[in-house]
A and B are shown apart, each in its own frame.
Chain A
Amino acid sequence: MPESPLSREVAADAVNPLGLEGIEFIEYATSRPQALGQVLETVGFRPIARHRSREVLLYRQGEMNVVVNATASGSPQGTGPAETPAIAAIALRVHDAAAAYRRALELGAWAVPVQVEVMELNIPAIHGVGSSRIYFVDRHREFSIYDVDFTPIPTVDPKPPSLTGLRWFGIVQYIGNERMEDWSEFYASLFGFRALPDEERFGILPKGRVLASPGNGAARFYLQLIEPEPGILDIEGDESLQRIAFGTPDVPATVAALRARGVRFVDSESLRPDEHGALTQAQLGGVAFEFVRAAQI
């Protein structure tokens, strides 16, 4: 493997082997991109750019980017994405995308063959849970990947502020029965995630196991792995990225602001918004967002 200028230092960092620095974007796939766009706008995202060649829109608020993909890529040939939006990819900011990709393959990840059109970036990716992908993005400080592949929507503020200080907190992944150790090892080995002790939980939905990414401050995010309820038979193919969780310094303020924008929350005896967290009612057949109290960074 050719040595990149900093590989000695990065390789020495066993805690953060890829130089992971958080999430660059999260991608949804759906055949109803406008419907999903409306849902995203209610929680504060703004459409800011269109992909040059595909039916793909970029939404942003604060530091968070969400890509809504309505094209067939990532689906079996000839079929488009399903109507119900699904989290199709997580793009990770890493120190060196090519090195991260090679390392992942070396350890047993599945490569995603890239289909790059003229004048598009080649973003290396591996397969994640279900049909989802994990992208590696570097040089996110020097320039934006979106400048190459996307055309800005005219007259729109390209950097809309985040609503009530929202930021990425994490992603909830549903896993099959007895799959906790497999997935924990997958994320630990390929990316350097580590499991939090059981008593350390966030928000109002504390089930399963929480894995913390390497990196501190704004770079840190969490994956929460949740097994089926006991007694539920393992249905094949039911592993997926289930929902996004946003961090907010003040959950009640966020809930109030979002309610004013028409967002509805799960509010029942067993689960209701409080100062620790909140969960939106699922829309479009399964899109829900979780909000978790997290200090401003």
Chain B
Amino acid sequence: MSQSSGRIDDFGMDTISLAGPLPAKLLAVREAGFSQIMLSARDLVGHAEGVDAAVAAVRGSGLRVTGLQVLRDFEGLSGRLHDYKVDIAKTMLELCSAVGAKVLLVCSSTSTHATGEREAIARDLRKLAMLAVPRGIRVAYEALSWGRSIEKFPDAWEVVCRADMPNLGLGLDSFHIFATQTPLEDLDILDPARIFLVQLADFMWQEIRSVEERVATARHFRVFPGEGAHSQEVVQLVTRLHAQGYRGDYSFEVFNDDYQQMPPATVASRARRSANWLGEDILRRSVPLPGRMRLNARGAP
């Protein structure tokens, strides 16, 4: 926290929004004035000098780790597939510990092998959260807009409630909310203390008609908030969450092919513009009193 960065500290970038190797991404994010970063496991394991070097780079960057993404297709499997995914989950949790990530993002399953039975989904998510307890990691479950049976956050919330684990909560992603045209009034059913992460992105067109188009848009054509067609909805989303009491992190998750061929610094400056708009014009959270550390234990310092 510096005096000039005040309200920007509530926002961070996802590494997936940037091109290049991890050190270049860390540098671009920090130089743009951000204090936190959402890491992709791929960025860590793909480091040219190995995972340990990646962990050292993150820890030496001075950036706080918002969380680690993403565990896919975890829930609803059985037998050998389930055991396999538990192993993958353990590896992701170990990666979280190594890099100091307190949140693991899990997105709803797209697997045709997975059951849609809510009871089974809740049981598996509960098990995942239990695996995360000794490591002090929280599990954020996100409804992927092309998830097989969970594609909207109210459904994700239902299984989170059913699983009933204190360290299991929701990851919200504005893209998926807009893509599925989930009413923002539905946010009212959520307990803000159980929203562990909010990822923000927009896209350029009003509507997405098919699931195929959702996938294509989500993976290639996202833009930063303020650059897309749903600025009003983004404003509503963050102001609603704020009014409900959400004080956690926001991270920009912008999958965009154009951004993948631009210098990271240029993309990060667009993200900074977005953070300025949301932080200073829209959200205007109160900044901590001078000389006080943030005691939001899990997020601090």
Q: Which residues of A contact B (CB under 8 A)?
A: 106-110, 127-129, 176-179, 181-186, 189-190, 231, 233-234, 236, 239
Write out the residue numbers on chain A whose beta carbons fall within 8 Å of the beta carbon of B300. Answer: 233-234
Contact (Cβ within 8 A) A129 B134: yes
CB-CB nearest in chain A for B94: A110
What distance in Å separates the Cβ of B296 from its nearest Cβ neighbour in chain A? 9
Write out the residue numbers on chain A whose beta carbons fall within 8 Å of the beta carbon of B100. Answer: 236
Segment of B49-57, B122-130, B147-155 in the binding face:
B122-130
What distance in Å separates the Cβ of A11 from its nearest Cβ neighbour in chain B? 16
Write out the residue numbers on chain B whose beta carbons fall within 8 Å of the beta carbon of A189. Answer: 130
Q: SS class of chain A's interface: helix, strand, loop or mixed? A: loop
Contact (Cβ within 8 A) A108 B297: no
Cβ proximity bits B253-274 to A, threshold 8 Å, 1 near / 0 not? 0000000000000000000000
Write out the residue numbers on chain A whose beta carbons fall within 8 Å of the beta carbon of B41. Answer: none
Write out the residue numbers on chain B whose beta carbons fall within 8 Å of the beta carbon of A236. Answer: 100
Q: Judge if B166 is at the interface, Cβ distance under 8 Å.
A: yes
Query: Which residue in B134, B295, B298 is a CB contact (below 8 Å) of A110?
Result: B134
What distance in Å separates the Cβ of B220 from its nearest Cβ neighbour in chain A? 36
What distance in Å separates the Cβ of A227 from its nearest Cβ neighbour in chain B? 9
Question: How far is A189 from B168 in the complex, measured between Cα atoms in Å?
Answer: 15
Top 8 A-B pairs ranked by shortest CB distance?
A: A108-B130, A177-B297, A181-B166, A108-B127, A108-B131, A186-B133, A234-B297, A178-B297
CB-CB nearest in chain A for B93: A110
CB-CB nearest in chain B for A175: B136
Contact (Cβ within 8 A) A239 B136: yes
Write out the residue numbers on chain A whose beta carbons fall within 8 Å of the beta carbon of B219. Answer: none
Q: Which residues of B contact A (CB under 8 A)?
A: 90, 100, 126-131, 133-134, 136, 165-167, 293, 295, 297-298, 300-301
Contact (Cβ within 8 A) B293 A186: no
CB-CB nearest in chain B for A180: B166
Q: Would you give 14 A-B contacts (Cβ < 8 Å), ordered by A?
A: A106-B127, A107-B126, A107-B127, A107-B130, A108-B129, A108-B133, A128-B134, A178-B297, A182-B167, A184-B166, A185-B167, A186-B134, A234-B297, A239-B136
Contact (Cβ within 8 A) B136 A176: yes
Contact (Cβ within 8 A) B131 A110: yes
What distance in Å separates the Cβ of B208 from its nearest Cβ neighbour in chain A? 36
Contact (Cβ within 8 A) B295 A233: yes
Question: How far is A183 from B129 in the complex, measured between Cα atoms in Å?
Answer: 12
Query: Which residue in B90, B126, B298 is a CB contact (below 8 Å) of A177?
Result: B298
Question: How far is A184 from B298 in the complex, measured between Cα atoms in Å?
Answer: 18
Write out the residue numbers on chain A whose beta carbons fall within 8 Å of the beta carbon of B133. Answer: 108, 182-183, 185-186
Contact (Cβ within 8 A) A127 B134: yes
Contact (Cβ within 8 A) A176 B131: no
Query: Which residue in A108, A190, A231, A234 is a CB contact (below 8 Å) of B298?
Result: A234
Write out the residue numbers on chain B whose beta carbons fall within 8 Å of the beta carbon of A176. Answer: 136, 297
Write out the residue numbers on chain B whose beta carbons fall within 8 Å of the beta carbon of A108. Answer: 126-131, 133
Contacts A127-B134, A185-B165 aside, 8 further interface pairs with beta carbons under 8 A come to A106-B127, A110-B90, A128-B134, A129-B134, A176-B297, A189-B130, A233-B293, A234-B300
Contact (Cβ within 8 A) A185 B166: yes
Write out the residue numbers on chain B whose beta carbons fall within 8 Å of the beta carbon of A184. Answer: 166
Question: How far is A184 from B167 in the complex, measured between Cα atoms in Å?
Answer: 11
Known A-B contacts A176-B136, A182-B166, A239-B136; the reply to A109 vs B130 at CB < 8 A is yes
CB-CB nearest in chain B for A132: B134
CB-CB nearest in chain A for B298: A178
CB-CB nearest in chain B for A129: B134
Write out the residue numbers on chain A whose beta carbons fall within 8 Å of the beta carbon of B127. Answer: 106-108
CB-CB nearest in chain B for A109: B130
Question: How far is A190 from B129 in the complex, measured between Cα atoms in Å?
Answer: 13
Question: How far is A185 from B131 in the complex, measured between Cα atoms in Å?
Answer: 12
What distance in Å separates the Cβ of B170 from its nearest Cβ neighbour in chain A? 16
Question: How far is A176 from B298 in the complex, measured between Cα atoms in Å?
Answer: 9
Question: How far is A146 from B297 in the complex, measured between Cα atoms in Å?
Answer: 43
Query: Which residue in B129, B136, B301 is a CB contact (below 8 Å) of A179?
Result: B136
CB-CB nearest in chain B for A111: B90
Write out the residue numbers on chain A whose beta carbons fall within 8 Å of the beta carbon of B295. Answer: 231, 233
* Most B CB within 10 A of own CB, among A129, A190, A231, A234: A234
What distance in Å separates the Cβ of A241 from its nearest Cβ neighbour in chain B? 12
What distance in Å separates the Cβ of A128 from its nearest Cβ neighbour in chain B? 7
CB-CB nearest in chain B for A177: B297
Write out the residue numbers on chain B whose beta carbons fall within 8 Å of the beta carbon of A186. Answer: 130, 133-134
What distance in Å separates the Cβ of B92 from its nearest Cβ neighbour in chain A? 13
Write out the residue numbers on chain A whose beta carbons fall within 8 Å of the beta carbon of B136. Answer: 176, 179, 182, 239
What distance in Å separates the Cβ of B99 from its nearest Cβ neighbour in chain A? 12
Write out the residue numbers on chain A whose beta carbons fall within 8 Å of the beta carbon of B301. Answer: 233
Question: How far is A234 from B293 in the complex, measured between Cα atoms in Å?
Answer: 12
Question: How far is A186 from B166 in the complex, measured between Cα atoms in Å?
Answer: 10
Write out the residue numbers on chain A whose beta carbons fall within 8 Å of the beta carbon of B128. Answer: 108
Question: How far is A1 from B129 in the complex, measured between Cα atoms in Å?
Answer: 23
